[in-house]
Structure 1
Amino acid sequence: MHREDHGLAELLKYENIAWYEDGVVRILDRRVYPYEKKTVECRSHQEVAQAITDMVTQSGGPFLAVQMGMALASHEAKDRPVEERMAYLAEAARTLSQARPTTAEKLRLMTDRSLAAAHIAMENGRDLTSAIVADAIETINRRYHEVRLLANHLAAQFPDQGVVMTQCFGETIVGMMLLACREQGKTVRFICPETRPFLQGARLTASVIADMGFEVHVITDNMPAWIMAREQVDVLTSAADIITMDGHVVNKVGTFQLALAAAYHNIPYFVTGTPNFEHESVESIVIEERDVEQVKTHLGRSVVREGVNAYYPAFDITPPKLVNGVVTPKGIFSPYDLKTYYGEGDVSTVVV
């Protein structure tokens, strides 16, 4: 099998996202990368779910992690009768898919794939765990291929010698858009807001960009509006945790204010991803509220005095009027016309 992660930064290699082997799922800890390269070892599917909740992996990482978690669940139940084993896998699927509430529907698509692979293996007398792992690798390889198509459309919006501002860490999309820039013969400079409190922009996006040989500057989260004008930013881009069918973008908190600043400066904002068929409108969105202690501390030290409170919504919602285009593997769509993304009966299970 041709691996679609060829040529990408080490952070984006399959084995460095989530990998099952011999009763253990190993996940590269993105909370501390790049100043520490540490792997979290999960010995139960519940530990995989907790790792996802705790942001050990994020962005597109949980899609592979939940499938590897399903392989681990299969291993946990290997000595049970077949019916009990399948019931155990169904329960594991519920646990894993609920690890991040806002993206539960996307995660459920992945656990459903694993359940289907297990059923087929059971009917054909094959090993369930191996079948789930094989399907997980096939799925991520297909997803990377789809992201490569998407990235070609995105990079086409970047002018040569242009300046692009990113938001948070778009995972595979970041690496693929860099490959696309290279293939299109474009020199592009990138600016990455840091993305508090986990600093995904500073630690992950900037690391991948630098690893792949492009110029990148990191800024704090209160600088973008000024920097957009001073550095003559050409394009703002982000991935999305959810793109509702009515064109709203649910992404890392702070995306909305970046889109507002971009609109003021007449900078186009292109969001990448596939519309979420399960979310017909923005009313279906539940915004995850995370532990406020993560806001009140930074790199292990408290930044507020005792008695000070905080808020930590993990995501915000950008309305379609601020989105210039939704970049998908099929091309660029208006946020007001996303139903045309899906042909008759074409509800894709490739999560981008």
Structure 2
Amino acid sequence: MPSLQTTSLRIADNRLFILDQQALPQEKRWLSADTVDELVGHIHALRVRGAPLIGLSASLLLALLAERGANRDELAMALETLRAARPTAVNLMNNLDRMKQALAQEEYAQTLMAEALHLIEEDKQLCDNIAQAGSSLVKAGSRLLTHCNTGGLATAGVGTALGVIALAHQQGKVANVWVDETRPLLQGGRLTAWELGELGVPYQLITDSMAASLMAKGQVDAVWVGADRIAANGDVANKIGTYSLAVLAKFHNVPFYVAAPQTTLDPHCPNGDAIPIEQRSQAEVTGVSGSFGAVQWAPTDAQVYNPAFDVTPAALISAWVLDSGIVTPADVANGIFQPG
């Protein structure tokens, strides 16, 4: 496979490496993701994260395994193991469905490689298209609020919601970005703040509980978020806390936009109730650990509810910004996300 480099993925010497998103922003550390067990471990630990990036990394690994001589049965088993690594993010399933079709071809090793590389280039173009469509919705002097991380760290391109914000900034329309820290692993505080700083976009970091007071004071002009899955009725699964923002935005008459590529659509999922929600470790809530060591602030026997995602009903969404363009609530009501 040819060498490849994106913000968070690297192919070098026919090996796959991922940028450790647990180490950012203090350290840019590349880790081997060269076996199925390694990559699944990175996905579970959120060292590699972001719905598009997870699907792309799994696709690249399958292509590399095929190039090294793995047979069809071994690749099929690897594919299903990778598919189960992250149940909520449908990009993983959609990408692996395309890799499964490639695996069925006679010259499957070459076909898998071509498809994986095509998915990378496709994602870059999807991101550019989303940014172009979404930036048209950003008004001059906007103060925008975003949740979790949706930039180049989470995709092969410029990102989804953060790609919109970056392009709108280049167009001179962004006065400030409010960055939710995003519990429980602080992807906003660690990753989005870092990306915006690298891009030169003015931002202020806030805790997740501050959004309501900002909206009440008229300090938020729009909310921009990504998505891990969009159901056929327009309901959206995204990082926990997104639903809260949508409710607040509705109450305060603030537009709430979802930016995502076509690979995030799941037309066979009827609504948000049918989206599986991943439950994560109690330790992410009861304390914190890092290079500095570990701190436990909750009682050792504290019981924890820690879903990774929540579901925002379509009724709370002002528009869905896809690579194909802007989708309105009327479009969704007319079944635009339904199976064709």
User: What is the TM-score of this pair, normalised by structure 2?
Assistant: 0.86
Q: Distance in 1 between matches of 2:101 and 2:12?
A: 21
Q: Is the 8 A contact 1:195 1:220 kept in 2?
A: yes
CA 204–231 in structure 1, closer or farther in 2 if over 3 Å, else same: farther
Matched, 1:87 2:73: yes
1:3 aligned residue: none
Do structure 1's residue 281 and structure 2's residue 271 form an aligned pair? Answer: yes
- 8 Å Cα contact 2:232/2:337 also seen in 1: no
Q: Of the candidates 145, 161, 174, which is equivalent to residue 165 of structure 1? A: 145
Deviation for aligned residue 1:223: 1.0
User: Taking structure 1 as reference, are residues 256 and 131 closer, same or farther at Cα in structure 2, changes over 3 Å only?
Assistant: same
Letter in 1 for 2:77: E
> In structure 1, what is the equivalent of residue 96 of structure 2?
111
Residue 219 (structure 2) aligns with: 232
The residue matched to 1:169 in structure 2 has which SS?
coil
Equivalent position SS for 2:88? helix
Alpha carbon RMSD of aligned pairs, Å? 2.4
Residue 214 (structure 2) pairs with residue 223 (structure 1): no
Report the Cα distance in structure 2 between the residues aligned to 1:53 and 1:75, rounded to whole angstroms.
Answer: 26
- For 2:15, the aligned partner's letter is V
1:255 aligns with 2:242: yes
Cross-structure match for 2:87: 101
Deviation per CA, 1:219-276: give whole Å up to 9, x if none: 0111111122336210011001111111211111101111111111110101112432
Task: Report the secondary structure of 2:205's partner residue.
Answer: strand
TM-score, length basis structure 1: 0.83
Give the fraction of aligned pairs with identical amino acids, expressed as a percent. Answer: 28
Is the counterpart of residue 25 in structure 1 residue 19 in structure 2? no
1:198-347 pair list within 5 angstroms: 198-230=185-217, 232-273=219-260, 274=262, 275-299=265-289, 300-335=294-329, 337-338=331-332, 341=336
- Unaligned runs of 5+ residues in structure 1 are 1-12, 346-352
SS at match of 1:153: helix
SS of structure 2 residue aligned to 1:152: helix
Q: Over residues 16-65 of structure 1, what are the superposed CA-to-partner deviations in whole Å (9 max), with x where a residue is unaligned?
A: 42334445321111112111221221231222122112211111220211
For the residue of structure 1 that corresponds to 2:123, the secondary structure is helix
CA contact (8 A) 1:69 1:96 kept: no
The answer to whether residue 147 in structure 2 is matched with residue 195 in structure 1 is: no
SS in 2 for 1:101: coil
SS at match of 2:188: helix
For 1:45 and 1:336, locate their aligned partners in 2 and report how far apart those are by CA, in whole Å: 43
Quote the Cα distance in structure 1 between the aligned partners of 2:138 and 2:6. Answer: 31
Question: For the residues of structure 2 that align with 1:144 and 1:285, how far apart are their CA atoms?
Answer: 26
Measured after TM superposition, the shift of residue 312 of structure 1 is: 0.5
Give unpaired runs (5+ residues) of structure 2.
152-158
AA aligned to 2:323 is P
Distance 1:335 1:280, change over 3 A: farther
**Deviation (angstroms), 1:165:** 0.1
CA contact (8 A) 1:247 1:336 kept: no
Query: Does 37-46 or 332-341 show the bigger shift?
Result: 332-341
Counterpart residue number, 1:122: 107
